[in-house]
Amino acid sequence: MEMNENKKRRAMIIYVIIGILILLVLNTVVAPRVTQPKVESVAYTDMTKMVDAGEVDTFNYNISTGEITFSANIGGTERYFSTSYWPNDTELLSRLESSGAKASTQVVNQSNATLLIYLLTFFLPIILLIWFGWWMNRRLKKQFGDDNPSMSFGGFGQGLGRSGAKIVADKETGVTFSDVAGQDEAKQALTEIVDFLDRPERYEEIGAKLPRGALLVGPPGTGKTLLAKAVAGEAHVPFFSISGSEFVEMFVGRGAAKVRDLFKQAKEKAPSVASTAEIDTIGKRRDTAGFTSNDEREQTLNQLLTEMDGFDNHKGIVVLGATNRPETLDPALLRPGRFDRRIPVERPDLAGRTAILKLHAKNVKMSGPIDFGVIARSTSGASGADLANIVNEAALRAVREGRKGIIQDDLQESVEVVIAGQQRKSMVLSEEEKKIVSYHEIGHALVAAKQKGTAPVTKITIVPRTSGALGYTMQVEEDEKFLTTRDEALEQLATLCGGRSAEEVVFGTMTTGAANDIEKATKLARNMITRFGMSEEFGMVALGTVNNPYLNSDTSLTCSDGTAEKVDQAVVALVESAHQKALTILRENKFKLHELAAYLMKKESISGDEFMRILNDTGAAGTMGDTGDASAHAGGNAQG
Ligand code: ADP
Ligand code: MG
Ligand code: ZN
């Protein structure tokens, strides 16, 4: 349960609207009835009729306006009327007198009602508003079991988030370690913190100082936030969290106020967990160069440092920060007594992925047996969030297809959706383009299959995807791989070149479809030379560094300009040799290339098994498919 600013604002608006409504109701319904009994306007002649009938009791004549107000008893009820005096009727007064009516200064008597009216229209709304505010407050407290001041509102002017910070407060996160699959090392590292939060007095007795903060470091979507919540949930302590991106404020000083707020709340409810996600947005290394300094961020960071030093750790407060850019953090944050523990939260391995898939699959219905291992193997590099998404996509597909539960196929397809985007049924390729894409994909698959160390091909398709891929070839390693040898890297390079090479061998031309392959091949070749020490020319010299291992593996060169030029030449040479290798393989297997491409064009999607069956079928090596001329067409192309 979280009480966010929106909810608070909505409740406040309702509160004001109800207040206004109460006032309106009192003014229009209650007040007029007491203050001004209904006065009916009548014609002058009607009045004279009532006078003659002896019904008029009291009357009043206002000389300045010429208005006569009078009360009359009609059929037993007293009613009030007003009319305009007709100036020529000089006998009116005597007629009134003779009818028994009394002249009065005030026909409509208000005097005895004033106090009551005053009470009703002025004090009652205030009393109601106070009561309503109190009632709302109490209801909220019941709901959250907490009297956290930033969550309460109503009363007059109290609360509404003193600093405007979106501090999420959870009395019980309800998340435990069993909700986090894989990540056993991270969980192990966090159990001590859980124990500390659970029984701080035990640590105090011995005089042990526990870390005030731990930093969860890892790529996005690997479960850092989930783990922080699980720590609070396991220890049954409240969880206060704020995201670093919310600290980026327009006004200087607001971020610092938010930090103060977060810690104040965590202290009030200690033992507790205070969590700051994306801590790198405030904890960036402070610049020493004066020009680029950022006052606001520095103030926020300083406040965070002060708070982390300041709190009394006997109470049991643990600050859990999360980041995917640890290298940008200010060293002051990492000093002992602050975030002195660093807990890596890595992308899950094969077993971890299987466990995460199974965990999320518990929430959806399944029809028949599902092999999660197969799915886990084809999702190497996926984060926990990706896998949760895959399971959900599969469930959505099952609904779309009118099934009662998900089947293996749904999961398989949703892996491809996550990798390559939805199928684009509306996109119709011309026959010519379909032919080019078919040859291109078979080119990849064939080059892969004709080398020893490559991962087996599991699927080839020419159904376009929303990501822009016109087709792709999926390869899945049989086992999880952590190391790649130089030979394997070279084979991967050749496989990447296979698509374009097939276009050249068959059509004697090139298309834009190989752009993505070229990008990947270049990156791989460059890494082989600058980071993996796999070139004879440069040997084991690091010529580049990875900027951020968690976000992308983009590198920057760390060598002189002269060397950079030589590196570029080496990259070109490496890719070109892979290109030549691919061309050779395809020329040697030209018959199979034609046969397989024709088959793919007809079926649009083929499995790895089908591919291998045709490839190994030596008997009928047909010469189908013509080497017709071709023209170049635009379109992206992914090689899985
Ligand atoms: P991070 O904070 O590291 O970016 P989150 O903790 O917000 O990632 O994870 C996002 C979602 O991904 C979670 O809510 C959960 O559904 C899923 N998820 C991520 N990692 C795991 C995991 N190890 N086990 C189960 N679910 C996970
Ligand atoms: Mg997060
Ligand atoms: Zn390709």
At 182, which CATH number? Answer: 3.40.50.300
Statement: residue 185 has pLDDT above 50 = yes
CB 181 near ligand 1, within 6 Å: yes
Among 534, 538, 576, 537, which residue's Cα sits nearest to residue 558?
Answer: 538
- Please indicate, yes or no, whether residues 202 and 250 belong to a single structural domain of this protein: yes
Q: Which of 107, 123, 142 is the last residue of a domain?
A: 107
- Distances from the Cα of 272 to the Cαs of 74, 196, 225, in angstroms? 76, 11, 15
Among the options 441, 491, 503, 504, which is catalytic? 441
Any idea what the CATH number is for the domain that residue 625 is in? 1.20.58.760
SS (H, E, C) 39-72: EEECCHHHHHHHHHCCCEEEEEEECCCCEEEEEE
Residue 201: inside a domain, yes or no?
yes
Domain shared by 98 and 151, yes or no: no
Q: Is residue 426 part of a domain?
A: no
Rg (CA), the chain: 40
Going across the sheet that includes 339-344, the strands are 168-170, 239-243, 272-277, 317-323, 213-217, 339-344
The total domain count for the chain is: 5
pLDDT above 70: percentage of residues in the chain:
82
Give the model confidence (pLDDT) of 317-366 as tens digits: 889 999 888 888 888 888 887 887 889 998 898 899 999 999 999 989 99
Task: Give the position, in ligand 1's atom list, of the atom nearest the Cα of 219.
Answer: 3
pLDDT band per the 50, 70, 90 thresholds, residue 498: very high
pLDDT at 88 over 70: yes
Same domain, 403 and 452: no
pLDDT at 253: 67
Inside any domain, residue 207:
yes
Quick: pLDDT tens for 208-228.
Answer: 777 788 999 998 899 999 999
Structure tokens that stand for 110 in this block: 């208000």
Residue 425 lies in a domain: no
- Specify whether 204 is located in the same domain as 279: yes
Note the pTM of the prediction, 2 decimals: 0.66
Does residue 271 have a cis bond before it (omega within 30 degrees)?
A: yes
Among 64, 82, 107, give the residue marking a domain's end.
107
Is the distance from the beta carbon of residue 322 to the nearest atom of ligand 1 less than 6 Å? yes
62, β-bridge pairs: 67
Identify any residues that bridge with 323 across adjacent strands, giving them in sequence order. 217
Q: Does 303 map to a domain?
A: yes
Lowest mean pLDDT among 116-120, 302-306, 469-473, 539-543: 116-120
- Beta bridge partners, 319, equal 213, 274
The type of residue at 109 is N
For the segment 286-299, what is each residue's pLDDT rounded down to a tens digit? Answer: 655 545 556 667 77
Q: Range of 311's domain?
A: 166-344
**More reliable by pLDDT, 360 or 100:** 360
Stretch 433-446: mean pLDDT, rounded?
A: 94
515 and 621 share one domain? yes
Distance 303 CA to ligand 1 centre (A): 29
Asked if 204 is an active-site residue, the reply is no
Task: Assess if residue 529 is contained within a domain.
Answer: yes
- Provide the pLDDT for residue 627: 34
Residues 504 and 624 in one domain: yes
Report pLDDT for 1.
41
Over residues 36-50, the mean pLDDT reads 81
The confidence score (pLDDT) of residue 521 equals 95
Residue with the larger pLDDT of the pair 236 and 255: 236
Ligand closest to the CA atom of residue 343: 1
In this structure, the dihedral spanned by the alpha carbons of residues 133, 135, 137 and 138, taken in order and rounded to 10 degrees, is 160
Q: Are residues 223 and 276 in the same domain?
A: yes
pLDDT above 90: residue 593 = yes
Is there a single domain that holds both residue 44 and residue 133? no
Residue 305: inside a domain, yes or no? yes
Q: How far is CA 308 from CA 188, 214, 245, 311, in A?
A: 24, 12, 19, 6
In terms of domains, do 556 and 634 share one?
yes
Amino acid identity of 560? S
What's residue 54's pLDDT? 83
The pLDDT of residue 212:
82
Residue 355 CA to residue 163 CA, distance in Å, equals: 41
Domain co-membership, 177 together with 289? yes
**227/367 same-domain check:** no
Residues 138 and 248 in one domain: no
Q: Which atom of ligand 1 is nearest to the CA of 216?
A: 3
Of 98, 133, 160, the one marking the end of a domain is: 160
Find out whether the beta carbon of 180 lies less than 6 Å from any atom of ligand 1.
yes
